[in-house]
Amino acid sequence: MNKIRSGDEVIVIAGRDKGKRGKVLQRSDDSHLLVEGVNTVKKHAKPNPMKGVTGGIVIKSMPIDQSNVAIFNRSSGKADRVGIKLLADGKKMRVFKSSGEEIKGA
């Protein structure tokens, strides 16, 4: 079970974009996330008339390692760790480590 899923709001805790918040758009692989507005790069794109793509400088988000982000706890306004709680019916539920409340969202 992934502790950070797509749709979660995360805050960057290390690196160039430290302190920025954003929503997880997708998981690239087991350890990388694509977060909106974080780790953006400028890419020089060649024009391709066959596909109707104009050339120029394109700003795009690149994946960031999940160890550099933490889930954002709205009630405390800070970054928080994620724990797994086992329910009576055998299902797993993600909870905030600081307060024990359930993580709502995706």
Residue in this structure with the two tokens 């982000």, named with its chain if needed: 69
Q: What is the pLDDT of residues 30-58, one digit of tens each?
A: 999 999 999 999 999 999 999 998 999 99
The structure's pTM equals: 0.82
Q: What is the pLDDT of residues 62-75, one digit of tens each?
A: 999 999 999 999 99
pLDDT at 85 over 70: yes
**Concatenated DSSP letters for 13-68?**
-SSTTTT-EEEEEEE-SSSEEEETTSSEEEEEE--BTTTTBPPEEEEEE--EEGGG
Structural domains of the chain sorted by starting position, each given as residue range(s) with its CATH number in brackets: 9-79 (2.30.30.30)
Which is nearest to 32 in space by CA: 72, 62, 73?
Answer: 62
